[in-house]
Amino acid sequence: MGISNLRRGWFICAALALVALAASVGCRSDEAKGGATAVNQSNSNQPASNKAAAKAEKLPTTMPPLTAEERHVIKDKGTESPFTGKYWDKFTPGVYICRNCGQPLYLSSGKFKSDCGWPSFDEEIPGAVKRQPDADGRRTEIVCAHCGAHLGHVFTGEQLTAKDTRHCVNSISISLVQTTAAPEEAIFAGGCFWGVEHYFREVPGVLGVASGYIGGTVAYPTYEQVCSGKTGHAEAVRVIYDPALVTYEKLARVFFETHDPTQLNGQGPDIGTNYRSAVFYLNDDQKKTTEKLIGILKAKGFNVVTQVVAAKPFYLAEDYHQDYLTRHPERHACQVRVPRFDEKK
C-alpha cells in the first residue's frame, strides 16, 4: 500500500469526516486500495421508473456456466462451422460481450458484412481484445483480454473496410446485449475511479461502467505500476451507453460535476498524474462537446485544467476495483456532487 493510497482514503472522506467518526465507520486506509471512496446518492431523487429502466439496461456482470459446445471453442480453441452461429448475419444494435466473463468486447457499430460465415468486426472496444500468435504459426489469435476466452482470429490486408481489419469471431464466444440505438463509449479520468465509476452507474441509459487505466506507455498495467507514476496512466472509467437514452453531453456534465476539474494532476491530497483530470475522446463530436463545456465552466470563472486528448486503449483494472462501492455497502457516502452548470440536460 503506497503513500498515495493513504492520502486517497483521507481525501475522499474529508468532506464528511465528522459523520464518519460519529458513525465509527472510519474511511480508513485498511482496504486493498487503502481507503474508502464514499459517494453521495446524488440521484436518489430519480423517479422510480427511471431507476428500474436503468437497471434493466445494464450489461450482465456474471455469465452462466459454459456448455460443452461453448467450452470446446472458448477453452479448447475450437472453431464453429461457418454460417451456423447466431450472429454471423445479425446486425441489430447492441454490445457483444464475452460469453465466458461478460466483459464488453465489440460494439455493433464495428460489425460488418463479410460473407465469411462468422461475425466480423473491424474494430474492438480498445483494450478489450488481446492479439497473440496462433499455435499454427501463421495466424493471429484473438482472445478476451480479461479472461483469455478464445474468440477467433484477426486478419488485415483484405481491404474489406476502411480500417482494413477483420476480427473473425465465433458466435459461440460472444453474447449480444441488444440496445435501442447503436451503443457508444466514453472515457473519463477524474481521480479515484471507485467514486467516478459509482456516479456513472447511476445514470439512466448507461449500460455498463468499468474502472481501468489509460494514457500510459505500458499495455495492461497493474495497479501498482500505475500508482508508481512511472507508466503515465490515469485512473479512468469507461462508460458504455445507449445514445437514445443519454447523451454524451449529459455524461460529460456528470463528469465535470463529480470531481474537481480545476486541480492539476491530483484530486485533493491524491497527488500524481495518475489522478489527473482528463477526457479521452473517441471522436470529434465528443471532443467538441467537451471543449464546449470547458468553455462554459471557464466563463463561470473555473480555471479548468482538464486534459482533452484522443483516446488510447483502456485497460481494465483488477477485478477487486470493479464496482467497488456496490460490493462494499458498508462504506458510507462522503463524496459530494457539485453543480457547476446552470441548466440540466
Which residues of the shown chain bind Zn ion in the complex (CB under 5 A)?
98, 100-101, 103, 144, 146-147, 149
Q: Are 144 and 45 in contact (CB under 8 A)?
A: no
Radius of gyration of the chain (CA): 21
Specify the residue, 98 or 192, whose C-beta has the smaller distance to Zn ion: 98
- What's the grid cell of residue 307? 486534459
Residue 308, number of CB atoms within 10 A of its CB: 15
Q: For residues 12 and 21, what is the distance between their CA atoms, to the nearest angstrom?
A: 14
Q: Is 98 helix (H, G, I), strand (E, B) or coil?
A: strand
Of 98, 168, 227, 334, catalytic: 168
What is the torsion angle, in degrees rounded to the nearest 10, for the CA atoms of residue 66, residue 69, residue 75 and residue 79?
Answer: -140
Nearest to 312 by CA among 249, 256, 232, 242: 232
Q: Let me know if 192 is a catalytic residue.
A: yes
- What's the grid cell of residue 156? 488485415
118 alpha-carbon distance from chain centroid: 27
Q: Let me know if 98 is a catalytic residue.
A: no
DSSP 8-state code for residue 319: G
Backbone angles phi, psi at 14, to 5 degrees: -60, -35
What's the min distance (Å) between Cβ of 197 and Zn ion?
A: 19
Would you please indicate which residues are annotated as catalytic (active-site) residues? 168, 192
